[in-house]
Structure 1
Amino acid sequence: MKSIFLTIIIVMISFNVYAEDKPYTLGTVWEVSYIKVNDGKLEDYLKNLNSGYYPIYEEFKKKGWITSYKAISFNRNNPDDWNLMLLTEYPNWATFDRKEAEWEAVVDAVFKNKEAQEDSDEDRENIRVLWGSKVGREMIPVI
Structure 2
Amino acid sequence: MKNVLIATTLLILSFNLFAADKPYTLGTVWEVSYIKVNDGKLEDYLTNLNSGYYAIYEEYKAKGWITSYKAIGFPRNNPDDWNLMLLTEYPNWATFDRKEEEWEAVVEQVFKNKQSEDASNGERESIRTLWGSKVGRELIPVISD
TM-score by length of 1: 0.87
1: CA distance between counterparts of 2:55 and 2:15? 48
Name the % identity.
82
Cα root mean square deviation, aligned = 1.7
Give structure 1 regions of 4+ aligned residues with deviation exceeding 2 angstroms: 13-20
> Following TM superposition, by how much is the alpha carbon of 1:18 offset from its aligned partner in structure 2, in angstroms?
4.2
- Measure, in 2, the Cα distance between the counterparts of 1:22 and 1:119: 48
- Alpha-carbon distance in structure 1 between the residues aligned to 2:119 and 2:60: 22
Equivalence map 1:64-75=2 (5 Å): 64-75=64-75
TM-score normalised by L of structure 2: 0.86
Decide whether aligned partners of structure 1 residues 107 and 15 sit closer, same or farther in structure 2, where only a CA change above 3 A counts. Answer: closer
Distance change in 2, residues 1:92/1:40 (3 Å): same
| Unaligned residue ranges in structure 2 (runs of 5+) | 1-12
CA gap 1:15/1:56 in 2 versus in 1, 3 angstroms: closer
Return the letter of the residue paired with 2:24. Y
Which aligned pairs between 1:47-58 and structure 2 lie closer than 5 A?
47-58=47-58
Instruction: Name the SS of the counterpart of 1:34 in structure 2.
Output: strand
Q: Which secondary structure does the structure 2 equivalent of 1:75 belong to?
A: coil
3-state DSSP of counterpart to 1:134: strand
Unaligned runs of 5+ in 1: 1-12
Alignment partner of 1:79: what SS? coil
